[in-house]
Chains A and B, each alone.
Chain A
Amino acid sequence: MSSSDTKYLREVESSEYEHGFFTDIEADKAPVGLSEEIVRFISKKKEEPEWLLEWRLKAFKRFEALVDEHATPEWAHLTIKEIDFQSICYYSAPIQRPSLDSLDEVDPQIIETFNRLGIPLAEQQRLTGVAVDVIMDSVSVATTFKAELAEKGVIFCSFSDAVRDHPDLVKKYMGSVVPYTDNFYATLNSAVFSDGSFCYIPPGVHCPMELSTYFRINEAGTGQFERTLIIADEGSYVSYLEGCTAPQRDEHQLHAAVVEIIAHKDAEVKYSTIQNWYPGSEEGVGGVYNFVTKRGICSGSGSKISWTQLETGSAITWKYPSVILKGDNSIGEFYSVAFTKGRQQADTGTKMIHIGKNTRSTIISKGISGGRSQNSYRGLVKIQKSATNARNFSQCDSMLLGDRSGAHTFPYLEIQNSTAQVEHEATTSRVGEDQIFYCKQRGISEIDAIKLIVNGFCKEILAQLPMEFAVEAQKLLAIELESSVG
């Protein structure tokens, strides 16, 4: 590669985080540290029923045992500094807790934050018909379009509201896909989760709009423990969007969310994520630890769950959105772009567990690594004995933008049925010199050429995102690549 080319790539690597600013909102915080008292404090603060407190306490007991066993997951291709779970504040809620119907009542500072992020909330709502459940730190402060959703019988509210208003649904489904014993971080989340989103689509309802939540980590040193529960009843459809950015911060912020999806017979859930949390400085100082457990179950026949993600932020990403294909003829999909630069580390992928007959899964994963970052795909395809005629196709491509970056692929294919057909392909290469040459001799600058090539590399995935998200995703990728190129 020519020197200007390498220079460009170096600049790409060092491009600073654009969304690093801090919103100064007063917060109601729990004392730092984790103990049974804190768990009780959170539960009390949220006025939770007894059964939920008991569940939290069971999870907390389990978590204590895991800490004693030093059972933090270490199998991932990540270097994680030991986390002091006692130095984290487990609860923080904005003091103002209005129950609002319109945006005018929302704290103007929040609106300003979104505006600076280039997400004009108000406009977006009107233009795109997206109902946004804004999560500022841990408590939902504004929920819109509720009325329209209510008309269809769709429940879309904060997790705390769901506990209050729909305890039966929460009780029935919470922990059914990700039990509190699932893994270290899911257990922690189960004990201390602050809030999150709840969504229920009644039978036969095609959700009239895309449901969207913008998560923000805000208060310094606050762990963010979201819990999302999505239930799509028989024959329903919902598309759910989750996007995140976070203010710049020097200390590590731990984020251990849990997302559970239940798709009943013939239901379809499409879950899209853009993750752009603070990745830490060029030297690897600070940044968000994103340790997330996301799992869906296709419990009924003919159901479908599709995960699409664009991961560009976080110092460390540890995330495997999975699908349990229990119902016959059910479908699981996973589309992912993971872009790492600086000293970011990502170990991400999926799990497709085939249990039902004629189940199908598709995995398309694209990893782009620059700087000194390490980007790993780790995915499991498991075909159980009962999964007659199961079919899987996986493709994992990696692109390297620097000679100090790493791209790794760790697929696990476990097949226990003779009628299964499982294919996995992976390639690793860098931006081709010949491709850049081709573009340049047609008058396209080197920078544009690289953008073009990277964009083409990810196109398959970005095309899976809902329209307005896809536009944002493309912008984000371009910013990641270009922002520092003067």
Chain B
Amino acid sequence: MIPSLDDNNSLEAQFLVAQALVAASATNGQTDGFDAFREAGRIRFSSQGFPAPRTELWKYTPVRRWLKTDFSFDSGVGFSELPSSEYRGDIGSYHAVCVDGIFIPSLSSIPDKDEFEGYIGAISKAKMPLDRLLSHLETINPRTETAFDALNQSFFQDGLLVHIPHDTELAEPLYITNLVTSGSNAFMQPRTLIVAESASKGAIIDLRDHDSGITTFENSVTQIHVGSGAQLDYYHVFDRGPLSHLIRKLNVYQEADSTCSTNELILSGALVRTDLNFLPDGEGCTTNLNGFYLAQSDTHIDVHTMVDHAKPDCVSNELFKGIIGDTATAVFNGRVLVRQDAQRINAYQSNRNIVLSDTAKMFSKPELEIYADDVKCSHGATTGQIDSEAMFYLRSRGIKESVARNLLLQAFAADVLALVSVDSLRERLQEIVAERLRKQSG
């Protein structure tokens, strides 16, 4: 099943060679406390290997097609100044910048201690005890493990930590700008850890929008820990342009009575595969996961979501919408799992798609897996085109076709975008999406 790992020329073998170098240079012969963590990742990766062509979870994304053997794992030329971003607007005091996953203080602006008691900075410099750090880094739900998060783990050097202490609130939304250096065929593996302690509150916007015009490949892992009674809003924007590749893993772990709301916005890319996993592991959790994907030209977008209801009395709401045009492909695979004895779960999932051309493809796979009886779970999935009656209504009022089309597509996207609670981000997103759709409608 797994392509022979003994074969020194296999894709996996070449990654493992690079991994050995990275692991050695990270510690420089001495331990940095993460050796065991890296090693565990290496073992997991080498036993799994990259997904084989017929793996069910990669059915519509034969990922090997995009993986090359001549990737470079070193950072290229850095940034002397911060590139502009249409999503960010003015830089406030809550702004963390990472280049190839490494936190860059000189480009960031972090509130001082009087204003914010928590920590925003490099994982390696965090004051959090190492064992706690490791336990947060290691909380991967075994049900959702992939070769890619193992690979990321095996290459771990440093990453970004956002720590919001108990009963603390982020005064402003925190922007994280993720940049990739301009090395050729760079394969970068950033990692972000967000720990919102009990009763804390905050909004975080994770941006991957800088398009450097060259081929990039990111294998990113983001882990979020939401403490009991905490409330966290998390947004992720991917818009790096037609040469960018992203394999992304989001793991959200929720304690009792916490609320986590996320919105995943994917607007471009050659390949984007995201695995969004939520584990509400306490009673009374609320999980909102929303997303919007716009697949144009020959973009391949694959969104996998999993809500693993491990404990009773939780609610999850899921809404993902997509517009697929040109020769693009989009995949939505949403899984809702209710474990045995996780009673009184209300789980809703909805996936709506508009396919704009006959060369575009949409694969939708909403799944329910229920092992408890006192639950209310439902999902719905639709794929269609612009409502011809609505179109006729607009046309009959003298609105020309391209404008009418654009209006209707905007309306389709509007309800997901409206769920973004950060006003400035929402307004910018609405404008950007409208502009993209205008181009699409011609």
Contacts and interface: CB of A to CB of B under 8 A. Distances in A.
Contacts of A420: 355, 383-385
A413 interface: yes
Interface string A383-419: 0010000000000001011111111111111111111
Interface stretch (B206-214, B360-368, B399-407): B360-368
Interface in B333-356: 340-341, 343, 353, 355-356
Contacts of A476: none
A412 B365 contact: yes
B395 interface: no
Given A429-B377, A430-B373, A413 B383 contact: yes
Contacts of A407: 368, 370
B376 interface: yes
A246 B353 CA distance: 46
Identify whether the interface residues of B are mostly helix, strand, loop, or mixed: strand
Identify whether the interface residues of A are mostly helix, strand, loop, or mixed: strand
Contacts of A415: 353, 355, 361-364, 383
B370 A426 contact: no
A417 B358 contact: yes
A402 B343 CA distance: 12
Contacts of A405: 371, 373
Interface residues on B, range: 35 or more
A400 B340 CA distance: 12
Contact of B366 (A406, A418, A426): A426
Given A385-B358, A403-B373, A418-B355, A426 B363 contact: no
Contact of A423 (B369, B376, B378, B381): B381
A96 interface: no
B56 interface: yes
Nearest to A401: B373
Contacts of B438: none
Interface in A71-86: 75, 77
B414 interface: no
A413 B378 contact: no
A426 B381 CA distance: 9
B363 to A, nearest CB: 5
Nearest to A374: B371
Contacts of A401: 373
A411 B361 contact: no
A426 B371 contact: no
Contacts of B373: 400-403, 405, 430
A425 interface: yes
A413 B367 contact: no
A416 B368 contact: no
7 contacts: A400-B373, A403-B372, A412-B365, A413-B363, A422-B384, A424-B366, A424-B382
Interface of B: 56, 340-341, 343, 353, 355-385
Given A413-B383, A418-B356, A429-B375, 9 more contacts: A77-B369, A412-B365, A418-B357, A419-B385, A421-B382, A422-B383, A424-B381, A427-B377, A429-B376
